[in-house]
Homo-oligomer: A and B are copies of this chain.
Amino acid sequence: MDFRKISNISVDCVVFGFDNANINILLSNRKLKMHDLRYSDIDDWVLTGDHVFKSERLDESATRIFKGLTGLDDVYKKQFRTFGNPDRIKNEKDSLWLKSSGVDPRVMSVAYYFLLPSEIVDLRDENIKWFPIRELPQLGFDHHEIIACALEDLKQKVMSEPVIFEFLPDKFTLNELQLAYESVLNIEIDNRNFRKKAISKTYIVPLEEKRVGISKKPARLFMFSRDIYEKTCSRNHIINI
């Protein structure tokens, strides 16, 4: 493996985490102390990214960066778009930042998103923090746009493939599943109708166990069977002219 970095190609990671209430984004704090008094210090938030190694596949690069951030392997990921306009670096902070790190001024960023239940990330690092998707702080570069695109793509995906389960632990309750949908799509769903529909799916398998302790009345747990899903769901083409 050739570990030299390609100077003008990077990968950015949008990490979506679900905490049984909200979809969140994992962001890194970007700090730069200015010794030149004409400029104020930089202290804002950014997505995590890095340059691609000379002999590394794009997917490998995404996996490596994600692992550096969370310590995790084997998480669902998807490349959703590449951002590479020359005017990506709009504001003063960003150009100062780039100057200080000595990087090519025109970088293409191949963007990936990752889906996981947020509790499996162990936030040792003080510079890393979850933000609810609809309450993001000030971000550097074009990262607001990147996140907005990621969310759009995610919504599409959620409505056509069973990726929602990536947000949940192996065993989950139907209410957790519903909350995940509501949070991603930013809609409200009728609880009774949702339940009926979910129970009617053979690939959402009821377990004997119940979740105790967390709430008052213990709730039945379910699991998602990808196996059954693939065997039964031959992709129904609901055409929406």
Interface residues of A (CB under 8 A from B): 6, 8-9, 52, 54-59, 79, 81-82, 84-87, 106, 108, 110, 156, 159-160, 162, 164, 177, 181, 185, 187, 189, 194, 197-198, 201, 204, 236-241
Contacts and interface: CB of A to CB of B under 8 A. Distances in A.
Contacts of A82: 58, 79, 82, 108, 110
Interface centre among A9, A162, A204 (most CB of B within 10 A): A9
Interface centre among A8, A187, A204 (most CB of B within 10 A): A8
Contact of A6 (B8, B159, B236, B237): B8
Query: 3 shortest A-B CB distances, which residue pairs?
Result: A82-B82, A57-B85, A58-B84
Contacts of A240: 159-160, 236, 238
Contacts of A198: 241
A56 B79 CA distance: 23
A81 B84 contact: no
Contact of A57 (B86, B164, B177, B236): B86
B238 A238 contact: yes
A54 B106 contact: yes
12 contacts: A52-B84, A54-B86, A55-B86, A58-B84, A58-B108, A59-B85, A108-B108, A159-B237, A181-B239, A185-B237, A194-B241, A238-B238
Nearest to A55: B86
B9 A241 contact: no
Contacts of A187: 237
A237 B86 CA distance: 36
B84 A241 contact: no
Given A156-B156, A197-B241, A56 B86 contact: yes
Contacts of A56: 86
Contact of A239 (B52, B84, B85, B159): B159
Contact of A156 (B9, B81, B86, B160): B160
Contacts of A59: 85
Contacts of A52: 84
A124 to B, nearest CB: 32
A159 B57 contact: no
Given A9-B8, A108-B108, A108-B110, A238 B159 contact: yes
A204 to B, nearest CB: 7
